[in-house]
Amino acid sequence: MDLQPHEKIIKTVYRATIVYFWGFFFGLILILAACVFIVPLIRFGWWGQIIFGLAVLTGILVGLRTLVKAFGNRLVITNQRLIIGRRQGLFKEYVLKISYERLKSVDIAVKGLVATIFRLGSLVLNLVDSGSPLVFSSVRQASQIQELIIQLKSSEQGINWQEMDDYQLIDLARKIRDRLGRDVLRRIVDEPS
């Protein structure tokens, strides 16, 4: 992944593992079925060996494909933009980069029984220049991810000092002090204006 200068990865979000259950399950069933029926297959001679080998190979490929998709579908949240990687197969991947200026809103949708039971949400990203939203589905702790993206979007747009109350200003001053150090902050405060 190519990051811009001064760009830092804040969080990488993957789809929940439960979404890939059937791919792993089918691959495992193929391998186990081949192992269970190995004796009858061997009795068929080289045809049985070919069937056994194809079943094991197919099971491994299905499991590998599911594994590649599980780690290939990701949402990378950086301090400057969102990067969505969508893996559609072993050799097909789309990468979409969205700056925070293009992001109009971030919504959450929970649809279906599996999503409700396992507390999975879909992040719905509405863009300024696009009519249809982008959806990154089956995310654990979707509301926390939504809050993180909203905070990063608002920090990209700058801080409105007039809208901050005293407690927020004091908290910001403490963060500046912690980052710069007490000595540097004292020199800045003691400088004549």
pLDDT digits (tens, 9 = 90+) for 16-48: 988 899 999 999 999 999 999 998 888 889 899
Q: What pLDDT sits at residue 84?
A: 92
Statement: residue 116 has pLDDT above 90: no
CA 51 vs. chain centroid, Å, equals 38
Q: What integer is the mean pLDDT of 125-143?
A: 89
What is the per-residue pLDDT for 37?
A: 92
- 177 pLDDT band (50/70/90 cuts)? confident
Mean pLDDT value across the chain: 87
Q: Rounded distance, CA 14 to CA 63, Å?
A: 18
**How far, in Å, CA of 168 to CA of 38, rounded?**
69
Residues 6+ apart with CB under 8 A from 130: none
